Amino acid sequence: MEENTNSHNDSIQTDTADAFGFSFGSSNKPKPIIKSVVGRNDYFYNMAHKKRGLAIIFNHQSFIVPYLKDRMGTNVDCEQLKMCLKKLDFEVHVYNDLGVKDLLDKVEKVSSEDHSDHDCVVLAILTHGEEGLLFAKDGAYKHDQVFDNFRGDRCPTLVGKPKIFFIQACQGSRLDAGIGVYTEMDSSVSCYKIPIYADFLVVYSTIPGFYSWRNTTNGSWFIQALTAELKESGTLYDLLTILTFVCRRVAIDFESRVPDNSTMDKQKQIPCVTSMLTRLIKFSPKSDNINNSVEDIQQTVMKNE
């Protein structure tokens, strides 16, 4: 009999980990099986829950950390983002200039709420930052201290739902001078496990190690571009497509103006989109925001009879 040296049955295959990959921190084994709100092979997330969900904005303008300057223009960002998220049917809450403890307590409280009737959750943080760190009014905290609260084993009512984070902050002090370009144009029921960090979408205003720009009158480049694209096509395209247009807008339409500082003048920026999504997100309009619900109509008819 011929020996099959390639048989999968005759060898034990194991997987090993590559060190120094993208990390949100370590975790223990996931908790027991949780019912998913989407089918295994669905292309889109289920956005037909009773409510769109919570959108939390942490807006930081003033700091008591000595070397951090006031972030003039951030209130413009906050108002524009708040308007866009409300238009997309989110329940928006804004928190201004919180300290580290209050901010992290608020994040933990949001993650521990019952999101069963929600499509997703959004957290936006508008602040100063360094690579790996974000600043509250009185000090710094790690990104993981926010993200970890929404892991699948810690926030079961958001399992299988998008967890969306918008981070407007520097990630370092490096500058991007850009490069010149030109264009030439021609005319069944199944049980399966998912990672506890599945369904996260983290969007940074800039790539790791680089500066993030903000206009003191009009707000940050990233939030200007994000809100402009959400206004134009927030319900038309899936969110990753929209974010691609955001990156294009920031990359092409913006350039720093600091004429009295040649090092900082005429610099560029590109946002960084880190997706652990397993399906597409589309913010289709909620029907109950267009017309009265069927129950309300029935009650009105009954009263008039």
**Is 128 part of the annotated catalytic residue set?**
yes
**Is 118 part of the annotated catalytic residue set?**
no
Residue 118: phi, psi to the nearest 5? -105, 145
User: What letter would DSSP give residue 141?
Assistant: E
Question: Of 60, 128, 143, 247, which one is the catalytic site residue?
Answer: 128
Axis crossing angle, helix 239-253 with helix 221-233, rounded to the nearest 10: 130
- Bridge partners of 112, per DSSP, are none
| Residue environment code for 145-184, b if the CB has 16+ CB neighbours within 10 A, otherwise e | ebbbbbbbeebbbbbbbbbbbbbbbbbbeebbeeeeeeee
Q: How far apart are CA 239 and CA 245, in angstroms?
A: 10
Q: How far is CA 121 from CA 16, 38, 117, 166, 190, in A?
A: 33, 16, 11, 11, 26
Q: Which residue has the tokens 């508008």?
A: 126
Question: Of 84, 120, 155, 170, which one is the catalytic site residue?
Answer: 170
> Which residues are catalytic, by number?
128, 170
